[in-house]
Amino acid sequence: MGVNGLMKIGFIGLGNMGTPLAERLLKKNQLFVYDVNQENLKYFIKKGATPCSTPSELALQTSRIFLCLPTSTIVKKVINGENGLLNSVEKGSYIIDMTTGEPEITREISKELQSKEINFIDAPVSGGPKGANQGNIAIMVGGTKTQFSTIKPIMDQISCNIFYAGKIGSGHSIKAGNNLLNLICRMATFEVVSMLVKDGVNPETAVNIIQKSSGRNYATEITLPDNIISGKMVQGFSTGLMKKDAGVATKIAEANKVEIPLGKLSQELLKNTIDEFGEDADMSTVALTYEKLTGAKIRP
Ligand code: NAD
């Protein structure tokens, strides 16, 4: 326990997604934070979190450590690398990986840490920064049922939608499948709404009606109304991260010899946006690619 009987929790990776997740934990715990980006750290210092100068220093403070990093390769580095968590993490600790990671690497890390009596579980999230702020983001947990029930009370502080996904890596598998499906639905929605705009329909009207009809999906519910039609053009999720997630799903398909033609086509369409705007661009820029391709303006 930390000051005033608060639980001590660590959080590494304070980007678009990690920030709102960590902010929820900050409300009821003593939070120790680390990020390579000093600006992101400063934001949390102002809010009352304690900064650490390395992952190793953070692991000296707490036995419950959350990660929300870009990739599984970076997760490995934060655990095993120079000044990584392994230098000081206590036996019996939990490292909870909220990154959208690769199930195979996750199983490898878990096996290695198990031999050191350290728990490593996957707990990726879906619902974006908005879902985290609202406290209803989906969290899908891979690990043993005992590991799940040990960590669930902390996760309850983040969201009311927590799911046991199955053995280690299952959360990361389901998350990769979910994001490929999100990409396919998003591209399909842009395609159809662009076609309707060319046919003289108002895009907002089309999306509102489809959202209450059989074609509804996350793009008609959130992406188009909140980020595109509103003119905001910021979703808080980069094209590079989407490319990575769809790539993880493709690896799963290949390992299991399953054909994914829609998945492949949606990735080719995403490549058009990345070629023009780069991998740091927000996923909202996909709208600009469709505008160029079809001449239909969906934005105001
Ligand atoms: P981001 O790029 O905004 O944030 C990543 C953070 O990790 C940054 O603050 C960066 O400085 C930090 N970082 C990078 N390398 C580091 C290291 N070696 N040590 C410490 N910190 C390091 O990305 P994001 O959008 O927050 O995504 C994080 C993860 O969450 C990704 O795996 C992503 O796929 C997943 N995710 C994102 C969203 C979303 O809507 N943004 C939704 C669901 C899942």
Q: What are 45-98's pLDDT values in tens digits?
A: 999 999 999 999 999 999 999 999 999 999 999 999 999 999 999 999 999 999
Q: Which atom of ligand 1 is nearest to the CA of 236?
A: 41
Q: What are 129-160's pLDDT values in tens digits?
A: 989 999 999 999 999 999 999 999 999 999 99
Q: What are 155-169's pLDDT values in tens digits?
A: 999 999 999 999 999
Among residues 111, 175, 264, 292, the one annotated as catalytic is: 175
Give yes or no for residue 40 CB within 6 A of ligand 1.
yes
If one residue of 23, 34, 58, 68 were mutated to test the ligand 1 pocket, choosing by the most ligand atoms within 8 A of its CB, it would be 68
Question: Active site includes 175?
Answer: yes
Query: How many other β-carbons are positioned within 10 Å of the β-carbon of residue 270?
Result: 20
Give yes or no for residue 160 CB within 6 A of ligand 1.
no
Average pLDDT over residues 245-260: 97
Instruction: Please report, for residues 173, 213, 236, the alpha-carbon distance to residue 268 in angstroms, rounded to integers and kept in the order given.
Output: 21, 28, 22
> Measured in angstroms, how far is the CA atom of residue 50 from the centroid of ligand 1?
20
Q: Which atom of ligand 1 is nearest to the CA of 242?
A: 34
Return the closest-CA partner of residue 238 out of 189, 272, 285, 190.
285
Contact 8, 1 (CB under 8 A): yes
Give yes or no for residue 15 CB within 6 A of ligand 1.
yes
User: Residue 240: which pLDDT band, with cuts at 50, 70 and 90?
Assistant: very high
Cα–Cα dist 141/226, whole Å:
28
Q: Which atom of ligand 1 is nearest to the CA of 235?
A: 40
Give yes or no for residue 51 CB within 6 A of ligand 1.
no
What domains are defined for the chain? 3-167 (3.40.50.720), 173-294 (1.10.1040.10)
Return the closest-CA partner of residue 195 out of 166, 179, 181, 215.
215
Contacts of 82 (CB under 8 A, 6+ apart): none
Q: Count H helices and E strands in the chain, helices first.
A: 13, 9
> Measured in angstroms, how far is the CA atom of residue 70 from the centroid of ligand 1?
4
| pLDDT value of residue 269 | 97
The overall pTM is greater than 0.85:
yes
**Most distant CA pair in the chain, distance:** 64
Give yes or no for residue 236 CB within 6 A of ligand 1.
yes
Helix, strand, coil content of the chain in percent (nearest 5):
55, 15, 30
| pLDDT value of residue 5 | 73
